[in-house]
Amino acid sequence: MHDKTWVPVANSTDLAPHHVFQGRLMGQELAIWRADDGHVNVWENRCLHRGVRLSIGINTGSELVCQYHGWRYANRNAGCTYIPAHPADAPARTICSKTWPVIETGGLIWTHFEDRDPPLPELPEGGAALRPLPLAAAPEMVRESLAGLAPEGFGPLDETLQARGPAGSLHLMVQPADAGRAVIRGIVQSDEPELALLRRLNLFLRSARDQILAQAALTPAPEPIPHRPERVSEELAEMPEMVSGPARLRVQVAKKELVAKDIVALELEPLRGALPASQPGAHIDVALPNGLLRQYSLVNAPGETGRYVIGVKREPESTGGSAAIHDSLAEGDLLAISEPRNNFTLRRDVEETILVAGGIGVTPLLSMAAALKDDGLPFRLHYFAGSEEQIAFGERLAALGDRLVNYIGLDPEKTALALKGILKSPAPHAQVYVCGPAPMLDVTRATAAEAGWPDAAVHFEYFANTREIDTSSSFRIELARSAVTLEVPAGRSILSVLQEAGVAPPSSCCQGACGTCMARVIEGEPDHQDVYLSEAEKAAGDKILTCVSRAKSDRLILDL
């Protein structure tokens, strides 16, 4: 239907701030929108959930929100970042709207459906885009009919629909919207006053359109190109659980910056393509040059999808993770990271959210705060830091205005007292999120429980499990699905025994903090040593983190 070229599908001026343009190319409907960072998104005009046109949704400047059930899709990567019907679940990262490549030049937005990028359109510098003119006629016919017409001052349009004359030069393009639909677009260069010229060319196109339509009426209208949307992946069709794959992403350190005493921020950009979507509270694994794997929370605000931002604190007794980043990592270096995973999901169906950060634990909460602010939901971020100079990400904090409360240099007693004040009155539609060093988390959880907060309303993320792991027990594990029995001797973890047998679940932090290696317990009594499961979950005894937890009974039956 067309040679391998980029095709104009909108004028730049069509993409007004916070607007969603409805377009069409070869029978495929497009939702085209510009984010506040200037990026132009060309997407399939269809929400993956129940097929509603995204062009009737809301462009928040950072995300596109579907009008039907409020699913949110991120700028650039088009990944679904939030499913309001299940506010406690992180959406599967693979829920991604279909996107196409985009360039913006000559006042037009161009895309294509080819496998590889065709050569860029050759356009003269500058010029003004014409008012586009849609018409119900076959695109080839429109192209043929336009060739030879001579708009006043420009001389006849050649085969490629270009014309040059005393008035300047004119370049028309025919966007094949569908088998029987086209849009005439164009760029004009001229010294004439622009508005009058655009009006004149609009009149010219209008009369050309009327001629073409008269001619098109003589032949039967072609059948529209059938709509053949891509199928969603198999696991999404059945679904809802989130699956974590071993996918490894390659990123480049675009910026490394000291953002507080002993804290560096890293901005990680993709080598090619877009980064997968992330949600507030998500973290990534970073494979460090010295072979270690470490978890860092993303600081990213909604729509900040061009790079991942993490904060890394130099830990004094560091096993090498933070030291390697602080000392040997440089801008321009490559890193291998995992896709974002989320064990610290932010609910947004609540009337009040309390965020409590201790030290570098502020990173996931910054991301949450930005999301809540975007949604216009009430929240407060309570930030405990050792000293003024240890306050990280000042600019992001400043954007929170009076929703930020700082607590500087409090001793453990005063910290406990402050926490008591913050958590004193549990409200039915409120939620608490805490992230920080283990002792502070323990105190916060205890304080919340005492004040009467239900377990389910208090969410926390330990960025490391600093408790001592007792590996002295030995026991047997039976794997119900794989029908094997394995021995776990003292000194070894369930996970490592599983790995050896080739039936291990995915794992990440290996310290009982991230929840990735969780397995279901069918029978037996777990000996929980993690900091991930809540007290209620531990008491229920039907889940276990296989990296650190063990068995009190002499055997465990696992659903593996």
Partner 1 sequence: MNTMTQPDPFMLNQWYPIASLQEILPGQPRATKLFGQRISYERNVAGALQVSDGSRALPVLEQYGCLWTSLGEPDELFDVPEYAEPDRRNVNAGSVGVQVSAQRGIENFLDMGHFPYVHTGILGALPHTEVKEYNVEMIRDGREIIATECLFYQPMASTVSTSGADVEYIYRVPHPTCSVLYKSSPMDEKRLDAIALFGQPTGEETFRGHMVLSILDDVNTDDFISYFQLHIFGQDKPILENQMPKRLPLDPRAETPIRADKTSIMYRRWLTGHGVTYGTIPAAA
Partner 2 sequence: MIKLYDFDLSGNCYKVRLLLGILGLEFERKNVDFFPGFKHRAAEFLAVNPLGQLPVLEDGDLSLRDSHAILVYLASKYDGSGRWYPTGDAALLGEIQQWLSLAEGLTATASAARLAEGMDFDFDAEAARKGAYRLFDVLDEHLWFREREGSDWICAPAHPTIADLACFPYVMLSEEGGVSREDYPAIRRWTDRVKRIPGFSVMPGIFPAQLGS
**Which residues form the interface with ligand FES (CB under 6 A)?**
47, 49-50, 52, 66, 68-69, 71
Applying CB under 8 A, the span of 160-168, 192-200, 331-339, 543-551 interacting with partner 2 comes to 192-200
Choosing from 10, 173, 325, 354, the residue that interacts with partner 2 (CB under 8 A) is 10
Is residue 178 part of the contact set for partner 1 (CB under 8 A)?
no
Task: Tell me the closest approach of the beta carbon of residue 232 to ligand FES, in angstroms.
Answer: 13
- Give Cβ neighbours of residue 529 (< 8 Å, ≥ 6 apart): 465, 467, 469, 470, 512, 548, 549, 550
Q: Which residue has the tokens 């409590």?
A: 356
Q: CA 560, CA 558: separation in Å to the nearest integer?
A: 6
Q: Measure Cα distances from 142 to 174, 218, 376, 383, 457 in Å.
A: 7, 14, 48, 63, 62
Region binding partner 1 by CB under 8 A among candidate stretches 153-161, 342-350, 463-471, 497-505 = 342-350
Nearer to ligand FES, 52 or 497 (CB): 52
Phi, psi of 4 (to 5 degrees): -75, 95
Q: Does 51 bind partner 1 (CB under 8 A)?
A: yes
Q: Please, what's the b/e burial string for 406-429 (b: 16 or more CB within 10 A of its CB; e: otherwise)?
A: ebeeeeeeebeebbeebbeeeeee
Task: List alpha helices for 376-437, DSSP H.
Answer: 394-398, 412-422
Name the residue nearer to partner 1 (CB basis): 116 or 228.
228
Compare residues 11 and 345 and give the one whose CB is closer to partner 1: 345
User: Which parts of 254-360 fold into alpha helices (H)?
Assistant: 321-323
Closer CB to partner 1, 291 or 376, in the complex:
376
Q: Which is nearer to partner 2, 27 or 358 (CB)?
A: 27
Taking Cα atoms as reference points, which of 165, 104, 115, 173 lies closest to residue 142?
173
Q: Which of 47, 65, 253, 325 binds partner 2 (CB under 8 A)?
A: 65
Q: Which is nearer to partner 1, 201 or 370 (CB)?
A: 370
Q: How many CA atoms lie within 13 A of 533 on its CB side?
A: 24
Q: Which is nearer to partner 1, 79 or 524 (CB)?
A: 79
Residue 73 or 532 with smaller CB distance to partner 2: 73
Is position 343 an interface residue for partner 1 (rule: CB under 8 A)? no
The site partner of 255 among ligand FES, partner 1, partner 2, none (C-beta below 5 to 8 Å per kind) is none
For residue 330, the cross-strand partners are: none
Residue 524, SS3 per DSSP:
coil
Residue 12 is a binding residue for partner 2 (CB under 8 A) = no
Q: Which two tokens stand for residue 396?
A: 């992001």
**Does 227 participate in binding partner 1 (rule CB under 8 A)?**
yes
Among 115, 126, 191, 195, the residue binding partner 2 under the rule CB under 8 A is: 195
Site string for partner 1, 2-41 (x = CB under 8 A): ---------------------------x------------
Q: State how far the Cα of 334 lies from the Cα of 314, in Å rounded to an integer.
A: 20
Contact 66, 51 (CB under 8 A): no
Residue 103 near partner 2 by CB under 8 A: no
- Residue 199 touches which member of partner 1, ligand FES, partner 2, none, C-beta under 5-8 Å by kind: partner 2
The first and second tokens of residue 500, run together, are 């050896």
With CB under 8 A as the contact rule, the residue among 4, 19, 69, 424 that binds partner 1 is 69
Distances, alpha carbon 383 to alpha carbons 40, 74, 374, 386, 388, in Å: 36, 28, 20, 10, 11
Going 160 to 163 to 169 to 170, the CA torsion angle's sign is negative
Which residue ranges make up the site for partner 2 (CB under 8 A)?
A: 10-11, 13-14, 16, 18-19, 21-22, 24, 56, 58, 65, 67, 70, 131-132, 134, 195, 198-199, 202
Which residue ranges make up the site for partner 1 (CB under 8 A)?
A: 29, 45-46, 48-53, 56, 67-70, 83-87, 95, 227, 229, 231-234, 236-240, 348-351, 375, 377
